[in-house]
Amino acid sequence: MTSRGFAVAIVTLLLGLGLTLTGCAQRGPSAGPSGQDSSTPSQTTGPSSSAGQSPLTTATSTAKSSPATGGSTTPDGAEDPKQTRIRTGPVASFGGPAYGDQGTDRIGNGMWCDTIQVFWGGAVPAGVTFRFDRAVTKPSSGLDVRPGTCGTKGADRTCLGLTFRSSDKEGVTCSIVLRPRSNFREGTTITFEGTLTCPTSAVCNQVAAREVTPGPPIVVTTPSGDSTTTGGESTGSPSASPSASGASSSPSPSGAATTAG
């Protein structure tokens, strides 16, 4: 090959290489799947991400601080009973009045009368009341408890529905009517549930923390012999006795004459 031919070949080779490099350079920016250069996402997505986060952060902080949002005003869990001034449950759990069994009489027709003395059993703040809503027997079956003024031991009102006030310093004598069933068990006990009402929750806490001197527990056994009654055979309701209606400001008809299950 002559020197001229060699020179032509070199030039041709260089031109071909140059065209190849030019084609690669043109295809480079569009080689990605999105047809953009790798530097493009960092320039376009950066501001977009920042713009997307700013409203979200603002909305979140507003939801926590604004009283208009439901989450900021809804309390967590159930209301704490220690923070209330009206509490319902067993008398002993809330520092309610003490009571003592005065004995059981027969009043005819298979009914018995249990007389109970109710008293505070210790100091109690002013403005406190306790309403006897329900009698609870243990065992839970075998003995029905009903409101009524009865017996021979001085009861002048029914215990069920009775509202006992802090101003009642001397205590009261009340009664309940009992109807034993065929499965009655000797030694069945009776306790009471009711509603304690105080001027403030702090006073209720004070009542619950007080020391109480209880009376004899209410333990029911079959009374011996018959006795003359002052309440007759009437099982009555709290309103049947004039004194009972004055003692109870808000009797509980739904649970007053039932036993616990």
Q: 152-186, pLDDT tens digit by residue? A: 999 999 999 999 999 998 899 999 999 999 999 99
Give the tens place of pLDDT for each residue, 8-21.
Answer: 566 666 666 655 55
- Ramachandran region, residue 147 (left: φ > 0; alpha: ψ -120 to 50; beta: rest): beta
Can you give the three-state secondary structure of the chain, one letter per residue? CCHHHHHHHHHHHHHHHHHHHHHHHHHCCCCCCCCCCCHHHHHHHHHHHHHHHHHHHHHHHHHHHCCCCHHHHCCCCCCCHHHCCEEEEEHHHHCCCEEEEEEEEEEECCEEEEEEEEECCCCCCCCCEEEEEEEEEECCCCEEEEECCCCCCCCCCECCCCEEECCCCCCEEEEEEEEECCCCCCCEEEEEEEEEECCCHHHHHHHHHCCCCCCCCEEECCCCCCCCCCCCCCCCCHHHCHHHHHHCCCCCCCCCCCCCC
The pLDDT of residue 215 is above 50: yes
The confidence band for 242, taking pLDDT boundaries of 50, 70 and 90, is very low
- pTM for this structure? 0.57
Please report the pLDDT score of residue 111 as a whole number: 96
Please report the pLDDT score of residue 43 as a whole number: 45
The residue that leads in pLDDT, 65 or 78, is: 78
Give the chain's mean pLDDT.
71
The residue that leads in pLDDT, 70 or 179, is: 179
- Extents of the domains making up the chain: 83-247
Average pLDDT of span 92-121: 93
Among 176, 47, 156, residue whose Cα is nearest residue 112: 176
Give the tens place of pLDDT for each residue, 80-94.
Answer: 655 699 999 998 888
The pLDDT of residue 235 is above 80: no
- Most confident residue range from 34-38, 197-201, 227-231: 197-201
